[in-house]
């Protein structure tokens, strides 16, 4: 990821709007169960006019260069439910005063409990810093170092925060470096694996990072099985190369644990509509899944059968999902095939795919190694 720059065309504002504002608006429309917050970290040049970002009103903007306990308290007390946007500008200029930091942290957390919020943290960089390359983890570490009271990696629903800002590099393509799920996950794994010390010398923080990395490894396995499934669809001539390329692009551009189906592709006219859930369960018993594994797989089957409330478009209902060809993709490892056959044996609309003509009333299990 590269520092945002300010070329002739205001790619800063355009990229910010497309990447942050529009995705947050979409989330506002789709997530109605309980309140959430998303933290967006962005970098702007010194002197860049914040108004150019076109952050929707009503919004709360705090200039941290002038922050004081009274001004912060008043700003947050005035927040209403429809004030979805909180902007903290010049965050590295915030006075290093514990009381003020704690108050600001408390205000942010309290505001989240009352409404859906997008918390935009703006750091400013000088002209000579243009072109410096930052990694995702470096941004997080820098922010935590400078501004420790904003917990940028957590919210009430878990790890849902996004990082934005240093994603612009004018020398690459159209000027925007696209998110790539595989690259991000592998970078996080490589960072922890680069430690060469004996494990008994690791700190508690190192061990916590290792625990998080294990989740990232699971996400990489799921991603690889998903991509192999798309390869399989193309090899079986269920989809053509053009559709396969578009599906791979969509999968790699989607962040782990995003709401909806692992693959939902309606595509352009002439494309084959595909809906899929991907499971990488390894049987805990000789020829059978454990209870929690069975429940997880069955939930995915039920979603393919009945739709998901938080899916996109037509896939929210049973009638909608029936317009797709539906697949349960399972990692073929050890005795997983036997375990799957046991699980689906009494479900007449679910069957192992073995070359038969596709039927949109069926759910097909595909084993991928």
- Residue 129 confidence (pLDDT): 54
In a domain, 190, yes or no: no
The pLDDT value given to residue 176:
34
| Joined tokens for residue 337 | 């095939």
Do 162 and 38 fall within a single domain?
yes
Q: Averaged in consecutive runs of 10 residues, what is the pLDDT profile of the chain (369 residues)?
A: 40 76 79 68 82 89 85 82 87 75 74 78 69 59 63 44 45 39 67 61 68 75 92 94 87 80 82 92 83 92 93 88 94 90 94 93 94
Closest CA to 324 of 338, 296, 304: 304
What pLDDT does residue 193 have?
64
pLDDT confidence of residue 277 = 96
Encoding tokens for residue 118?
């997008």
H-helix or E-strand containing 42? strand 37-45
Q: What are the tokens at 46?
A: 């010194």
Q: Give the pLDDT confidence score for residue 177 in this predicted structure.
A: 34
pLDDT score for 150: 56
Indicate left, alpha or beta for 126 from its phi (over 0: left) and psi (-120 to 50: alpha): beta
Look at residue 235 in the predicted model and tell me its pLDDT: 93
Q: With the C-alpha atoms ordered 192, 193, 196, 197, is the resulting torsion angle positive or negative?
A: positive
Rounded CA gap, 62 and 85, in Å? 11
Question: What pLDDT was estimated at residue 297?
Answer: 94
Are residues 256 and 110 located together in one domain of the fold? no
Alpha-carbon 105 to chain mean position: 24
Position 189 in a domain? no
Same domain, 220 and 139: no
Give the C-alpha distances (Å, rounded to integers) separating 12 from 44, 62, 109, 121, 253: 8, 20, 28, 15, 20
Task: For residue 221, tell me if it sits in a domain.
Answer: yes
Q: Are strands 263-265 and 274-279 parallel, antiparallel or unpaired?
A: antiparallel
Tokens 């596709």 label which residue?
358
Q: What's the number of domains the chain is made of?
A: 2
Assess whether 41 and 111 both reside in one domain.
yes
What is the C-alpha separation between 298 and 305, in angstroms, rounded? 10
Identify any residues that bridge with 328 across adjacent strands, giving them in sequence order. Answer: 277, 365
User: Residue 274's domain spans which residues?
Assistant: 211-368
- CATH number of the structural domain spanning residue 102: 3.40.50
Residue 4: per-residue pLDDT: 35
Q: Within a domain: residue 185?
A: no
The answer to whether residue 188 sits within a structural domain is no
In a domain, 151, yes or no: yes
Q: Residues 143, 219: one domain?
A: no
Name 366's bridge partners: 329
Q: Are 350 and 363 in contact (CB under 8 A)?
A: yes
Tokens 């809906």 -> residue: 275
Three-state DSSP at 362 gives coil
Is position 92 within any domain? yes
């Amino acid at each position: 990821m590269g520092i945002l720059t300010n070329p002739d065309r205001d790619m800063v504002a355009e990229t910010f709007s497309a990447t942050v504002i529009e995705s947050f608006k979409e989330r506002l429309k789709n997530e109605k169960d309980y309140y959430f917050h998303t933290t967006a970290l962005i970098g702007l040049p010194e002197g860049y006019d914040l108004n150019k970002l076109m952050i929707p009103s009503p919004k709360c903007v705090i200039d941290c260069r002038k922050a004081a306990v009274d001004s912060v308290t008043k700003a947050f007390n005035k927040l209403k439910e429809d004030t979805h946007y909180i902007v903290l500008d010049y965050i590295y200029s915030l006075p290093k005063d514990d009381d003020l930091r704690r108050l600001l942290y408390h205000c942010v957390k309290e505001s989240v409990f009352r409404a859906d919020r997008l918390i935009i943290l703006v750091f400013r960089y000088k002209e000579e810093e243009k072109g410096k390359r930052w990694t995702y983890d470096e941004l997080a570490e820098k922010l935590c170092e400078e501004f420790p009271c904003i917990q940028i990696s957590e919210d009430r629903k878990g790890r849902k925060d996004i990082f934005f800002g240093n994603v612009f590099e004018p020398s690459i393509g159209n000027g925007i470096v696209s998110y790539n799920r595989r690259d991000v996950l592998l970078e996080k794994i490589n960072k922890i694996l680069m430690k060469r010390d004996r494990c008994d010398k690791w700190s508690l923080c190192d061990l916590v990072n290792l625990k998080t990395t294990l989740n990232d490894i699971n996400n990489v396995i799921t991603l690889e099985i998903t991509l192999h499934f798309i390869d399989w669809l193309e090899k079986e001539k269920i989809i053509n190369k053009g559709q396969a390329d578009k599906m791979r692009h969509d999968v790699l551009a989607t962040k782990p644990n995003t709401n909806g189906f692992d693959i939902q592709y309606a595509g352009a006219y002439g494309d084959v509509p595909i809906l899929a859930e991907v499971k990488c369960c390894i049987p805990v018993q000789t020829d059978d899944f454990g209870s929690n594994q069975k429940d997880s797989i069955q939930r995915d089957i039920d979603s393919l059968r009945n739709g998901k409330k938080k899916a996109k478009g037509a896939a929210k209902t049973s009638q909608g999902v029936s317009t797709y060809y539906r697949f349960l993709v399972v990692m073929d490892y050890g005795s997983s095939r036997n375990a799957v056959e046991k699980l689906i044996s009494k479900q007449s609309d679910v069957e192992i795919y073995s070359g038969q003509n596709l039927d949109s009333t069926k759910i097909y299990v595909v084993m991928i190694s």
